[in-house]
Amino acid sequence: MNRFFRLYIFVFIAAGICMPAISFAGERQKRPAPRNFPKPFTVMVPVRDGKKLAADVFLPSDEGKFPTIFIFTPYSRKRLTAAVPYAAKKSRLLDREHYVFVCADWRGFYGSKAAAVQSKKGPFKQVGEDGHDIVEWIAKQKWSNGKVGMWGASALGVAQYQTAVEKPPHLVCIVPVVARYGVSYEESFHGGVLKYSHVFTRDQVGFEGSAEKIKKQPVYGRWWKFVERLTTRDIGKLDIPVFVIGGWYDIDTEPVMKVFELIRKDAGDEARKNVRMLIGPWDHCDAAAGKLKVGELKFPKAEKVSEREAHRFFNYWMRGMKDNGWGNESTIRYFQMGERKWYKLDSWPPKGITDKTFYIRAGGELSSEPENSSEVEPDTYKFDPSDPSPTIGGLNLASPWKRDGLKVATGPKDQRSKVESRKDCFTYTTEKLGKNLAVKGIVKVKLFVSSDRKDTDFMVRLSDVYPDNRSMLITDGAHRMRYRNSMIREDFMKPGGIYEVTVRLSCTAHTFLAGHRVRIIVSSSNFPRFAVNPNDGGHFLEKDKKGLVATNSIYHDATYKSLLILPVAGTAKK
Give the tens place of pLDDT for each residue, 289-331: 999 999 999 999 999 999 999 999 999 999 999 999 999 999 9
pLDDT at 33 exceeding the cut of 50? no
Separation CA 267–CA 56 (nearest Å):
32
Judged against a pLDDT cut of 80, whether residue 21 lies above it is answered with no
Residue 360 has pLDDT above 60, yes or no: yes
Q: What is the rounded distance in angstroms from the CA atom of residue 531 to the CA atom of residue 538? A: 12
- CATH 2.60.120.260 placement within the chain: 354-568
5 band by pLDDT with thresholds 50, 70 and 90? very low
| 167 or 198, which is more confident | 167
Length of the chain as a residue count: 574
By the 10 Å C-beta count (0-12 exposed, 13-18 middle, 19+ buried), 186 is classed as middle
pLDDT, position 42:
97
Cβ(301)–Cβ(155) below 8 Å: no
What's the pLDDT at 526? 97
Q: Are 56 and 103 in contact (CB under 8 A)?
A: yes
pLDDT for the residue numbered 120? 76
Backbone angles phi and psi of 458, in degrees to 5: -125, 130
* Residue 573 in this model has a pLDDT that exceeds 60: no
Choice between 408 and 204, residue whose per-residue pLDDT is larger: 408
* Segment 114-128 mean pLDDT: 85
Give the residue-averaged pLDDT of 364-372: 97
Report the pLDDT value the prediction gives residue 119, as an integer from 0 to 100: 73
Give the model's confidence band at 397: pLDDT under 50 very low, under 70 low, under 90 confident, else very high.
Answer: confident
Lowest mean pLDDT among 162-171, 191-200, 256-265: 191-200
- Residue 88 pLDDT greater than 80, yes or no: no
What number is the average pLDDT over the span 262-278? Answer: 98
Q: Please give the pLDDT value at position 15.
A: 41
For residue 334, pLDDT beyond 80: yes
- pLDDT per position as a tens digit, 36-67: 889 999 999 999 999 999 999 999 999 999 99
CATH top class, domain 3-182+234-345 = alpha beta
Ranges in the chain annotated CATH 3.40.50.1820: 3-182+234-345
Instruction: Summarize the confidence of residues 439-462 as an average pLDDT.
Output: 98
Strand partners, 501: 447
pLDDT of residue 69: 97
Q: What local confidence, expressed as pLDDT, does residue 288 receive?
A: 93
**Distances, alpha carbon 108 to alpha carbons 78, 269, 290, in Å:** 15, 34, 30
Q: What is the mean pLDDT of residues 3-7?
A: 37
Please give the pLDDT value at position 200: 80
pLDDT value, residue 203: 67
Which residues, at least 6 apart from 45, have a Cβ–Cβ distance to it below 8 Å? 52, 53, 54, 55, 104, 133, 134, 137
Listed range (84-93, 346-355, 420-429) with the worst mean pLDDT: 84-93
The separation between CA 301 and the C-alpha centre of its own chain, rounded to angstroms, equals 21
- pLDDT-derived band of residue 501, with 50, 70 and 90 as boundaries? very high
Percent of the chain surpassing pLDDT 90: 80
CA–CA dist 220, 227 (Å, integer)? 11
pLDDT above 70 covers a percentage of the chain that reads 88
Q: What is the mean pLDDT of residues 406-423?
A: 91
Q: Are 263 and 242 in contact, with CB atoms under 8 Å apart?
A: yes
Query: Which DSSP helix (H) or strand (E) runs through 148?
Result: strand 144-153
Whether the Cβ atoms of residue 84 and residue 133 lie closer than 8 Å to each other:
no
Q: What is the pLDDT of residue 63?
A: 94
pLDDT for position 12: 41
* Spatial contact of 281 and 302, defined as CB atoms under 8 Å apart: yes
Is residue 406's pLDDT more than 80? Answer: no
Among 427, 469, 454, 414, which Cα is nearest to 552's? 454
Q: Cα angle vertex 389, ends 383, 392, to 5°?
A: 165
SS3 label, residue 403? strand
First to last CA, the chain: 52
In three-state secondary structure terms, 207 is: coil
Q: What is the mean pLDDT of residues 224-248?
A: 95
Q: How confident is the model at residue 173 (pLDDT cuts 50, 70, 90)?
A: very high
Which helix (DSSP H) or strand (DSSP E) does residue 511 occupy? strand 508-512
**Residue 171 clears pLDDT 70, i.e. is over it:** yes
Domain boundaries 354-568, CATH class: mainly beta
Predicted confidence at residue 204, as pLDDT, reads 65
Write down the pLDDT at residue 35: 64
